[in-house]
Amino acid sequence: MLRFIAKRLLLALPTLWAVLTLVFLLVRVVPGDPTIIVLGDQASPAAREQLRQRLGLDKPLLVQYGEFMVQIAQGDLGRSLVTNRPISADVAAVLPYTIELTLAALFIGSLIGVPLGVVAAQRRDGFVDWLARIVSLAGLSFPAFVSGILLLIAFAVELRWFPVISTVNTSDPLERLRALALPAINLGLIMVAYVTRVTRSGMLKALSEDYVRTARAKGLPSRLVVWRHALRNVLIPVVTVIGLYLGVLIGNAVLTEIVFNRPGLGKLIVSALNQRDYALLQGLMVVTALAIVFANILTDLTYGLVDPRVKTA
Amino acid sequence: MKPYLLAATAAFALASLGAQAQTTLNVGMSAADVNQLDPHRATTTQDKPLTAWVFNGLVRFKPGSASLEGLEPDLAERWESSPDKTTWTFHLRKGVKFHGDYGELTADDVVFSLKRAGDQKSSSFYADYAPIESIEAVDPYTVRIKLKQAVPAFLGLVTNYHGGFVVSRKAIEKLGENFRLNPIGTGPFKFDAYKPNESVTFTAHKEYFRGAPKIDRIVYRLIPADSARDLAFSSGELDVVYGRQDQKWVERLKKEKGVEVTVLRPAELGLLHLNTKMKPLDDKRVRQAVAHAINQKQIVSFKGDLTADPPVSVVPTGYLGTAETPMLPHDVNKAKALLKEAGFTGPLAVKSVQSTLPSMLNTAQILQSQLKQAGIDLQLEVVDHQTFHANIRKDLSGATYYTAARFPVADVYLTQFFHSRSIVGTPTAVTNFSHCAVADKEIEAARTEPDLAKQKELWATAQKKIIEEVCAVPLFEQLQVWAYKTNVDFGYKLTDAIHLGPVITEATTKK
Amino acid sequence: MSAAAAVAAPPVAIAAPSAWKRATRSGGLAIGLVLVVAMALIALLAPWISPYDPDAQDVIMKLEPPSAEHWFGTDAFGRDVLSRVIWGSRVSLFVGTVATLAGVLIGTIIGIISGYYGGIVDKLITAATDVLLSFPQLIMGLILVAVLGPTLFNLILAITITAVPAFIRVARGSTLAMKERDFIDACRALGFGDLRIMFLHVMPNIMDEVVVMGSLWLAAAIRTESTLAFIGLGVPPPTATWGGIIREGFDNLLDAPWLSVFPSLAILAVMIALNLVGDGLRDATDPRTPQ
């Protein structure tokens, strides 16, 4: 298995290189540069030029690109152009928040989505099915920043179950969990919709397969048939969808992070883009791309777990 | 029990007691991040209030005031000037301590700071310090400043504002560019930590020369989503909050229990700069038509009477030298007639580069709708805020909507926005987006005019000429809105805020 | 993906009459179609059915709650929200439809080619897809719009580009599974050309998966427009779009929640309609649907 992971990582190297090159070029096409943030909007053109020189932004693009690639190859993400802090430190500071939020959202999404999908498939076209479909779609219809505020109004301000700002006391694990709840639900709602749909359609398919009919004919209890035999076959597309939407999740996390005042990878990326912090943006994209590669590897490993027929080699 | 154990227990008990008694002031700001904590560079609404918590000047604006009239001693105990007002001598307070290990403040730091403020490599306000000929430390507690000529509002340059802030020389030499996000001053609060996109934390500077602050910690939270910030304020997680500049907001917050809402000056003046070198605005009649099409009264109603005022000139109200200047009245028919006269029939397209910042975009939409009634199509090219800043400086915008507050002396505003040296796209560019050059003579003459009355007259003429040339159309004045819980007592009456936000002083308390 | 493909639906021929019966039995497809047609009509007839000029500002009517005159209330400029939602349906449905169709079309074609030919072509396409999928979609959209400038066309382009890789994956996976089927071998044996096999035999048989995903994507595309507006770049004013109305309403969410809620409900209506149609179509093409 370790060999499998190593091989996949090695195969991901060209992808990483392409991602970096793309990011490097794209951000430099956007007008503006970091000097407006570093020096403020009233600095003299001469001071700006001087800073550009110091940051190395006046060098030919190819030279900048070469230096950047050499640096990355050495495993050094470099320093932020705006804060002059090591990028690895900034990433390390936000990564735990991103990981806990993403995992919690995936967990909530699956916890609600899978049972909802199964029940909907069983009671096809019945009231439960319709309700499940509409509820899951609602999660997709309200942009995360609107649903986030609605959640805050209900559960943080009216009921006072959760805090509005979710980073006040991060050393107490219980408090941290309390602060994580609403953001995770908000992000998880998106996941619910996808998972419910895939589960429902997969389940419908599975329920009509021969082996399920056979199992039923043999007199196995319906609950056992559905939850053990049929569901197993649904899990693979579900896992696929979860893996595929990890990118969506990291991106959409930005909105949740802004509304709930949480640090996170998504928010840092948007901020780096807004501040034209090229170095930070490039560094963050390396991390994000790696995270997605890892997620894909994990997805493939999970296939083997849920369905022994799939080999991970 | 062994003595050291006892001591440890006692220390622990004390520490936990101390932790309980800690007062933390939570301040919520409407921005995604701070840009600057270096006072000689800080210009944005989210950065400026912080500079006044961390730094001092030789003299200071009375907390809660924005008036040059009521300046009071700060780092300087007293000062005197020569009869011709060209030599100023400041006597420093003794025993003033910088934050951390940066020792006592001496005349050397003051000389260093003012020189730094006057250097364009390190300061955004260097132009203000051009009249200074020399600055020297006479002895460790005396600073002498010689001026090239008398400057009427000279004391303003050594206040706790912009370039007047005194920084630690040792800290700058040691921290270099990191000083920007690790400021060291003499103020009541010292910088503690910065978390990008999240918060800046300050702790009490126990050795502050006016006495130890009563508040132990300030957490300055960056929450760009208005609703989220409001909710955190309602739930009690924030004590002081930057308000939305909107009537409804003020009305809603005023109804909340235990909440005080304040509307603060100085105002930011919103101007629509018209590019006199770009078609079709190069035709003065078209610019006049734009001015006639704009309805200032309606803009103020949209913004809310509580939070916005009609403009009086192309310089904000209350600055030294602001002259109430008549403007072209709102008259749609006149606007249409002028356009016809200029030979334009059918909708006339005017290009405007515009930021996505909601408060700015809102005003732009009102303007767009008003101009439409006169047959002018304001084509908004909406770009993100950094691109906006870059593009308007590249002279890409026909009509540029820009709001700003500057040092409260007319010269600064007039020079930066309307002097030909400041025209965008030139090496000496500042923010003259209109290519205005009609008042250069008056602006320059006023700078060196020793007689205040004559100086004011020159400034008034300059403002009249600029408005007649329609380099810019004044739109409205935007006041700052803040709300705070009634258990917060700033220690002074909060009526104005030169730093665009409340100053937290050693006397500020939270019950 | 190969694992997912392994459980993909086996191919079946579409049997029209019985399929229709199956689909209408649940009523879902019918309701969905009615809703879709209704929404298309609203968008087309906007100038005639919208009660007010969507851009007309009225300072006295600022942020009025829903009433008899203004069913959806008014916004911060005193504009009628109902009229803006009606007019906004034009742009939003256009953006959503065009971006999704383009994404589906391009993605599916590339995916089929990749899966069908395999080898170096497949490797290259898969690599490119991986690169695009390494960007979180919203970030990708944001960077693209920042680079290209926020116009309607660029917005559609950005949303399309973010949609393409997902459809490449789905189409490729399904095609791989399809390739192993006997009837494709049969087609080859009959001497059919690659193009004919790909587009006349493979494509129809993988469309059910693609259609279901496409119906989810369309709403996501409309929503993406609002999220892009939230973190930076949207359609320039005064053009009304659902995303734009939600974004503008967000600033006043505590004073006037209706501003953001009504356009969000409009998106929900579109999603329900499309998903009913999507499910209906899926069922119609699946003969194993329980009778």
The H or E element that residue B72 is part of is strand B72-73
Would you say residue B420 has pLDDT above 90?
yes
Task: Determine the Cα–Cα distance for residues A266 and A288; give it in Å rounded to an integer.
Answer: 9
Residue B261 lies in a domain: no
Would you state the pLDDT for residue C184?
A: 74
Determine, yes or no, domain membership for B262.
Answer: no
pLDDT top residue among B279 and B442: B442
Is the pLDDT confidence value at C290 over 70? no
Q: Among A36, A165, A263, whose Cβ lies nearest the Cβ of B237?
A: A165
Whether residue B429 is found in the same domain as residue B460: yes
Residues B69-93 pLDDT 10s: 889 999 999 999 999 889 999 999 9
Q: Can you say whether residue A56 is alpha, beta or left, with left for phi > 0 and alpha for psi between -120 and 50 degrees?
A: left
Residue written as tokens 């700033």?
B490
Rounded to two decimals, the ipTM of the complex is: 0.83
CA gap A139, A118 in Å, rounded:
18
- Indicate whether B252 belongs to any domain: no
- What's chain B's length in residues? 511
To 10 degrees, what angle do helices A127-141 and C258-285 make?
130
Residue that is written with structure tokens 């086996």 in the block: C10
Amino acid C6: pLDDT? 37
| Residue matched to tokens 């916890």 | A111
Lowest mean pLDDT among A290-294, C15-19, C167-171: C15-19
Interface contact C142-A270, CB threshold 8 A: yes
pLDDT-above-90 percentage for chain B? 64
Taking CB atoms and an 8 Å cutoff, what residues of chain C touch B223?
none
> What pLDDT shows up at residue B78?
93
C261 in contact with chain A, both atoms CB, cutoff 8 A: yes
Q: Which chains border C (3 or more CB–CB pairs < 8 Å)?
A: A, B
Q: Which CATH superfamily is domain A96-312 in?
A: MetI-like (1.10.3720.10)
Give the count of beta carbons closer than 10 Å to the beta carbon of residue B160: 26
Q: What is the least distance, in Å, from the CA of A306 to any CA of chain B?
A: 40
Residues B369, B459 share a domain:
yes
Residue B176 lies in a domain: yes
Identity (one letter) of the amino acid at C286? D
Asked which of A179-193, A194-208, B102-116 is least confident by mean pLDDT, the reply is A194-208
Nearest residue to C250 (alpha-carbon basis) of A54, A48, B261, A148: A148
Whether the CB-CB separation of B438 and B471 falls below 8 Å is answered with yes
Q: How far apart are CA C84 and CA C57, in angstroms?
A: 12
Candidates C143, C251, C259, partner chain B, best to mutate (most B CBs within 10 A): C251
Using CB atoms, pick whichever of B180, B231, B389 lies closest to residue A153. B231
Q: Residue C143 is nearest to which of A26, A149, A300, comparing CB atoms? A: A26
Q: What is the pLDDT of residue A308?
A: 59
d(CA A202, CA A239): 12
Q: Which of residues 25-64 of C touch A (CB under 8 A)?
A: 26-28
pLDDT in tens, B117-136: 999 889 988 888 888 999 99
User: Given A37, A152, A276, which is nearest B231 (Cβ)?
Assistant: A152
Q: Looking at CA atoms only, how far is residue B273 from chain C in angstroms?
A: 20
* Stretch among A201-210, B200-209, B236-245, B302-311 having the lowest mean pLDDT: A201-210
Helix, strand, coil percentages, rounded to 5, for chain C: 75, 0, 25
Examine the domain organization and report whether B65 and B208 are in the same domain: yes
Q: Is some CB atom of chain A closer than 8 A to the CB atom of B356? A: no
Domain contains B247: no
Three-class DSSP category at C263: helix
Among B330-339, B494-503, C168-177, C180-189, name the most confident range: B330-339
CB contact under 8 A, A137 and C275: yes
pLDDT, one tens digit per residue, over A17-58 is 888 888 888 878 877 788 888 887 778 888 888 888 888 888
Instruction: Check whether residue B345 and residue B466 sit in a common domain.
Output: yes
Specify the higher pLDDT residue, B189 or C116: B189
In this structure, the strands spanning B240-242 and B24-29 are parallel
CB contact under 8 A, B32 and A157: no
Same domain, B154 and B297: no
CATH number, domain containing residue B80: 3.40.190.10
A84 → closest Cβ in B177, B228, B383: B177
- Tell me the per-residue pLDDT of B465-491, one tens digit each, with 9 for 90 and over: 999 999 999 999 999 899 999 999 999
Handedness of CA C15, C17, C20, C22 (dihedral sign): negative
Residues B216 and B327 in one domain: no
pLDDT at B186 over 90: yes
Asked if the Cβ–Cβ distance from B386 to A31 is below 8 Å, we say yes
Chain A residues inside the 8 Å CB shell of B44: 40-41
Contact B244 C251 (CB under 8 A): yes
pLDDT band at A135 (very low <50, low <70, confident <90, very high): confident
pLDDT at residue A166 in the model: 73
Coil, strand, or helix at residue C202? helix
Domain hosting B158: range is: 24-221+487-510
Q: For position C284, what pLDDT does the model report?
A: 66
Q: State yes or no: pLDDT of B493 exceeds 50.
A: yes
List beta partners, residue B202: B191, B218
Of the two residues B202 and C23, the one the predictor is more confident about is: B202
Q: Decide which of 1.10.3720.10, 2.40.110.10, 3.40.109.10, 1.20.1440.230 is the CATH code for C3-285.
A: 1.10.3720.10
Mean pLDDT of chain B: 90
- State the nearest Cα–Cα gap between B174 and chain A, in angstroms: 15
Q: Are the beta carbons of B416 and B432 closer than 8 angstroms?
A: yes
pLDDT band at B108 (very low <50, low <70, confident <90, very high): very high
> How many Cβ pairs closer than 8 A exist between chain A and B?
128
Domain membership flag for residue B275: yes
The residue ranges of every structural domain in chain C are: 3-285
Q: Report pTM.
A: 0.86
pLDDT exceeds 70 at position B4? no
pLDDT tens per residue across span A224-278: 777 777 777 777 777 777 777 776 777 778 888 888 888 888 888 888 888 888 8
Residue contact C236–B301, C-beta within 8 A:
no
d(CA A287, CA A272): 14
Tens of pLDDT along A152-168? 888 888 888 888 887 66
pLDDT number for residue A309: 57
Chain A hits for B387, Cβ within 8 Å: 30-32
φ, ψ of residue A52 to 5 degrees: the values are -55, -40
Q: What proportion of chain A, given as a percentage, has pLDDT over 90?
A: 2
pLDDT score of B270: 94
Domain boundaries, chain A: 2-87, 96-312
Q: Please indicate, yes or no, if residue B431 is contained in any of the structural domains.
A: yes
Q: Kindly compute the dihedral angle of the four CA atoms of residues B117, B119, B124, B130, in this order, to the nearest 10 degrees.
A: 80
Are A148 and B232 in contact (CB < 8 Å)? no
B130: nearest Cα among B145, B141, B121, B119: B119
B2 found inside a domain = no
C3 min Cα distance to partner chain A (Å): 6
Amino acid at site C84:
R
pLDDT at C127: 85
Of the residues C52, C61, C62, C74, the best mutation for testing chain B's interface (the one with the most B CB atoms within 10 Å of its CB) is: C62
CA-wise closest residue to B456 among B315, B271, B268:
B315
Same-domain check for residues B105 and B167: yes
- Contact across the interface for A42 and B430, Cβ inside 8 Å: yes
Summarize the confidence of residues B142-161 as an average pLDDT: 89
pLDDT of residue B161 exceeding 60, the answer is yes
Q: Identify which has the larger pLDDT, C6 or A78.
A: A78
